[in-house]
Structure 1
């Protein structure tokens, strides 16, 4: 019978396996989230469409440099096709091309090429900022989950303490006041646990708003040695940021485009040369007293035209001044951006140094708080400390645990902020995949 029992057990396991897997939570790492966002995020897709539009604009500018080849045909028929009003059918092909003598069309093509580069830099900037938001949301969830663990441990400790107080009350060594205090502290700890669990749900909702992921998911933390052992200097961060940030390079590209646009607008002061070459086949048919007559005529012609605007009421001057103003705006935007990035680097560096110092002191604080709680707990067992001392020691321990947990995640986020500030976050996160 044993083989049949084994087979039955095996079939039951197979039958319930799909249901077990259906309720399994999807696990994501930071790099998987970044890969999903880089592929599916609508904000990034919008920036990619802007890049695509810039690429199509280049094709439009290039088409102006290629002669236009057209075919045409016309037919005119009269009720009375006399010699003065003959039936005429004309068909032919035509080649047309026009250009400005200073190469305006080539300048426009160069502007579109630089616009593509500018859009690519804009895409990189949007990607980096978006992935930074995902990283912050990711570590916010991990921090919130750690707070839940701390709250659960606190509830367990206070449960044990309440039971210990209950035993002492039962034997008469403590009054019910101590029990009420223990119960109140336990209720407060349970409330803190509920708030911590709600914080996890809120943090997960924020992440789901950024990335399209399953509703039921967990996060897997992968230790990154580069983040734990990160070192930098303020001068090095500033230098790297001012030379590598996509926003800086994008604004520099906008200045180049503005300068080229000024040259493009000044092209209106130059003559425009137009060239047209065509081949036509004309057939004329009419009736006369001697009968009907037909006449076929083939022609080929080339026409050149040079045009120059003598006076436009100040239109060209106003357009050039607008282009010059746009160039000045771009230069001012660069100055503002550089100051902002320098300020951003200083803030990120100070935050990193602050969290480093906090971690060193908080480790000592946590060790002291843990030893203090164990000592007071031992004293309480032997009647050398009361319930208030236990509550104070527990509060000190929970506060130390929360502070060091918060500082650890703030340290990682501060490192990521520095990497972002330097313009290296995008390759740093995507290379991990």
Structure 2
């Protein structure tokens, strides 16, 4: 009994010290200076309701990083168009006007000129055959676009995980907040009973003191729950992409929607096919193959067809020749051009060796990434199973704590249990309730991370 009394005195001294920092005193004041029951759960939970699909839609439309990747994909599409333009004929036109005279002609013979030329040239070029040079450039551009698209898909996958985890964390904080308010209510009820027993002469002052300590502990726990709730609101706003904090309140959602059967080896193969980061590296490998083919094609000749239309006008009097026609005349040319690389100072061979080394490096990166993905899937599966076991144990512990609290409360009313027994039972029940809430949502969060490790965030969510 002396040891128990010393423990109670120690708790009272600690709470009295914390009272100067938290705004709570043994008289029962909360963080706003009101009586300990003045703040209501409805006041704290007041805010803008939001569902998970709404949060995901908002994030997909707001996050700047997502827009960045979308612009990169659009830019790569234009690069593909640039490469494909080499298949098309190239048409160009030029016009020249050339006037010539001599120094003496200007000053000694006014009005004399010996040259006045107008030339219009229209040229048509067509790539006929280049031994795969253009096709490899087009393939390289396509693979670069696929790399950008895979990077965008990875950003979307990461964003969906980020928002979903933040949403579930907020929902968990809301349930913990309700549990904290319930704990304050139970502690206040026990304090009322202890004070009533003391007034009736069937209780002792120690019971009242212990009940007050129990109430202060519950109030401190409520402060932590409110702070966790506000922090979760800020984190959800951040994950959505909102600078200000609109004080979102998460709507309830069935956690069974996140459930997924774990078939480890099959899921690892699924991750190899679905993970955007692996798809990004695979597209980089194919891009490297196209780059190597393009480098090799530089060793081969290229054949181009060319057609030209030429029209000019040379006034006859300009040259002093009376029989020169004074009207435009034209001609056209059709031919072909064969370009054969003979010596490039080793440029092409170095480009081939560089492309081959980069391709080998990318293949090594792909192999390393597959090892990492397999490890991530296995680790995520272990976390899901451990979370499921904690949830099961937490349910059992909560049921036992609730039954123990009911029996101790009943015994206290008939005088067969002490106040300290009630305090211990209520403390155990509060802790068991917190553990159950945390274990329940931790399982859901670990399941979300397992889905993310597979590259599969397609959950059966309700429509907005």
Task: Report if TM-score (shorter chain) is over 0.5.
Answer: yes
Q: Does structure 1 conserve the Cα–Cα contact (< 8 Å) formed by 2:292 and 2:356?
A: yes
Q: Measure how far apart 1:35 and its partner are.
A: 2.4
Q: Give the corresponding residue for 2:54.
A: 32
Q: How far is 1:288 from its partner?
A: 5.9
Matched, 1:221 2:243: no
Q: Cα distance, 1:47 vs. partner?
A: 1.6
TM-superposed CA distance for 1:295, in Å, is: 5.5
Inter-CA distance 290–321: structure 2 relative to 1 (3 Å threshold): closer
Conservation of the 8 A alpha-carbon contact between 1:31 and 1:429: no
User: Which of 146, 150, 154 is the matching residue for 1:117?
Assistant: 146
1:144 to 168, 173, 177: 173
Residue 291 to residue 102, structure 1, CA distance change in 2 (3 Å): closer
Give the whole-Å Cα distance in 2 for the aligned partners of 1:287 and 1:51: 59
- Asked if the contact 1:75/1:90 (under 8 Å) is kept, the reply is yes
Matches within 5 A, 1:234-273: 234-273=264-303
Partners in 2 of 1:282 and 1:28 — Cα distance? 75
| SS of aligned partner of 2:394 | helix
RMSD: 2.6
Tell me which residue corresponds to 2:40: none
Alpha-carbon distance in 1 for matches of 2:114, 2:265 = 87
Which region of structure 1 is more displaced relative to structure 2, 263-272 or 90-99?
90-99
Q: How far apart are residue 400 of structure 1 and its match?
A: 0.8
1:382 paired to 2:414: yes
CA distance in 1, matches of 2:257, 2:357: 45
Question: SS of the residue aligned with 2:117?
Answer: strand
Deviation at 1:354, TM superposition (A): 1.3
Does the 8 Å contact 2:150/2:277 carry over to 1?
yes
Could you tell me how far apart the structure 2 residues matched to 1:275 and 1:148 are? Answer: 78
* Offset of residue 91 of structure 1: 1.2
Structure 1 residue 360 and structure 2 residue 402: aligned?
A: no
Equivalent residues in 2 for 1:27-426 (5 A)? 27-78=49-100, 80=105, 85-98=114-127, 101-212=130-241, 215-223=246-254, 225-228=256-259, 230-285=260-315, 286-287=317-318, 294=326, 296-425=328-457
Count the aligned residue pairs.
408
Q: Report the Cα distance in structure 1 between the residues aligned to 2:143 and 2:319, rounded to whole angstroms.
A: 66
SS in 2 for 1:298: strand
Q: 1:173 to 1:75 in 2, by over 3 A?
A: same
* CA deviation profile, 1:262-303 (whole Å, cap 9, x unmatched): 111112211233443211111112446687963533121234
After superposing the two structures, state which structure 1 stretch, 118-127 or 293-302, moved more. Answer: 293-302
CA distance in 2, matches of 1:66, 1:292: 44
- Distance in 2 (alpha carbons) for counterparts of 1:284 and 1:202: 84
Q: CA deviation at 1:188?
A: 2.3
Distance in 2 between residues matched to 1:157 and 1:226, nearest whole Å: 33
Contact 2:52 2:164 in 1 (8 A): yes
Render the CA deviation track for 1:232-254: whole Å, top value 9, x for unaligned. Answer: 22223222212322222332222
Q: Which digits, 9 at most, give the CA deviation of each residue in 1:186-216, with x for residues without a partner?
A: 1221121111111111111111112156714
In the superposition, the TM-score normalised over structure 1's length comes to: 0.86
Whole-Å Cα distance in 1 between the matches of residues 321 and 175 of structure 2?
108
Q: Decide whether aligned partners of structure 1 residues 92 and 431 sit closer, same or farther in structure 2, where only a CA change above 3 A counts.
A: farther
Spell out, residue by residue over 1:111-147, the C-alpha distance to the aligned partner (whole angstroms, 9 max, x if none).
2223333332322222111101111001000001111
Distance 2:339 2:297 in 1: 13
Q: Secondary structure at the match of 1:120?
A: helix
In structure 2, the gaps of 5 or more residues are 1-45
Q: Is the 8 A contact 2:278 2:369 kept in 1?
A: yes
Work out whether residues 146 and 405 of structure 1, in 8 Å CA contact, stay in contact via their aligned partners in 2.
yes
The 1-side partners of 2:446 and 2:417 are apart by 42
